Structure formats: C-alpha cells, structure tokens
Structure 1
C-alpha cells in the first residue's frame, strides 16, 4: 500500500474552495437539515446521533459515544442527562464493573430510534439532489479512503 502523502493545494485567499472548507460546509448543511427535521421530536442532530449509535449497537457507554461522535465527555454527559430526563435512555450499572454504566434506549427511545433512519434518508435525498447513484457511490468510496487515513493522522 502506498503511504506517500500528497500535497493538498491550500490558498488562504480562496478558503471557500478548499477541501476542508467544503467538507465542513457540507456537514453543516446536512446537520442543519437533520436538526430542523428532528425539532418536532424535541431532539437535536447530536442527540439523534446518540440514538443511532445506541440503536445499532455501535456504542454502549458514554466514553464510546464520546470517541465515536468526537464530543467531549462533559458535553456528552449533558446530552445523556437530557435524553434520560426525557425518558429516552436509561443508565444501567454493569454487574461486572459497578463503576461502569451501560446505556440503553427505553421503549420510548426505541420507538423514536426506529423513525430516525427515514428522517436522515429524506434529508440526504434532498442534499444529494442531482447526484447519480454512481456519483454517490464514488463519493462514499473517496470518503472511506479519507477515513482510512485516520491512523496516519494519529501518528503525526
């Protein structure tokens, strides 16, 4: 595998044309669309992300959620406190380690989590208006390739 690091062109006078700026703006646009769609359910995009990670079993603790969603632990605690107060999640003490709390969706949380994929899909469908399936597939391929370089960033 070739680990040669390419030089990405960066011109501070044309920041709006940089790859980083475009990725950030695209993420913000989609996040805002999801926030607006979730407003009627009384949750935010970042809270929706917690629902998704818990419902698919990708994360089961606050620490795992913080790492996966790149949210600091204090902000994650506040998010989880809000979701618990609304009756969407519960903290369950791990019987093998009393210091560890596992997170689970309540029945109400599970019901809402089942609605989220359709909401996310509808926002993505609008965001990707005019894209062919081939273009979306190519974009996913490129993003996976970018994400595979995470280890290279961590060793710098």
Structure 2
C-alpha cells in the first residue's frame, strides 16, 4: 500500500497547484503531502551528491580532485576566464578555486596572465599540458555521463536540459 502511494505521488505532475498548494484548501501542502519525490531541490541535490561521489572516485585515479577536474573541464571549453568566472562555472567557492589554481599552476596545467582590461585581475587559461591531461580523463567522464543518462532518450534529455536551464534562469532572477 505504501508503495502504491509513493508510485501515485511520484507520477503527479509538478503543476503550479502542486507547487503552491490547493487553493480550495487555503493552505499550502505539508512536505508529507507534497513529497520529497516531487520536490525538485531534493532530487537535484540527491543526484548531484551521488554524481559527485562517483566522480570523486574516478578523479582520484588520475590524481585529481573534483575541483581540479571541473577547472580543467571548464577551461577546455572557455579559453580564458577570471578566477570568479571560473569558480562560477565550476560551481565552487572563489577561495577554493584560487587554491586549486595554485596547485594546477604548479603542475603546469594552467597559466595566469594579467587581464587585458583590468590589471588587478588575472585571466586563467589551460596550458597544452593541462589540455592533454584533461583529454586523458575525458573518456571516463563521458562514460560516466552515458551511465547517468542510461534509459533517457534524446527527447527526454532535451526536455530535461531545457527544464534545468529554466530552473537556472529562475534562480538567477
């Protein structure tokens, strides 16, 4: 019986009424009525926690931390970023990113240059050695992504990605 309740609530669409409460009851739903399986932040955090735990195991085999891997991945796409921009893209604190960049610079994987428009700011770029090193890890990361998306077809993924972009835009307001 409990599994029937869970199954029914898990298939409930996240309509505006489900999000804000039933107007006829004049009160928002309790967390029990709403259900964790319908609460997007909970699902996002659980997914991220499990992904990060698996990613940590994978990066350790390459002598990386997740923050180093994220920095190298982002810099593989964007040719030059400030520390703050890189921290934002890599979803980490600026102070953590600064320490990470110190280590990556010592390893010869990134370089810092004075920013063209603001001499107080440093632009970060991946070096050829850093790009080559990241390319060794990329197949592992891509395989992990494929495992994560197993059973999700292209249409579902496109809708999922579009929804996540909407959530990010909502949070940026």
TM-score, with normalisation over the residues of structure 1? 0.78
Partner Cα separation in structure 2 for residue 38 and residue 107 of structure 1: 20
- Contiguous gaps of at least 5 residues in structure 2: 1-15, 22-28
Contact 2:79 2:126 in 1 (8 A): no
TM-score, with normalisation over the residues of structure 2? 0.72
In structure 1, what is the equivalent of residue 61 of structure 2? 40
CA shift in 2, pair 1:132/1:83, >3 Å: same
Higher Cα radius of gyration = 2
Partner Cα separation in structure 1 for residue 81 and residue 30 of structure 2: 39
Greater relative contact order (CA < 8 Å, ≥ 6 in sequence): 1
Contact 2:75 2:125 in 1 (8 A): yes
SS state at 1:104 partner = strand
In structure 1, what is the equivalent of residue 147 of structure 2? 126
Aligned residues: 149
In structure 2, what is the equivalent of residue 139 of structure 1? 160
Contact 1:91 1:104 in 2 (8 A): yes
Q: What is the root-mean-square deviation of aligned Cα atoms in Å?
A: 2.7
Contact 1:30 1:124 in 2 (8 A): no
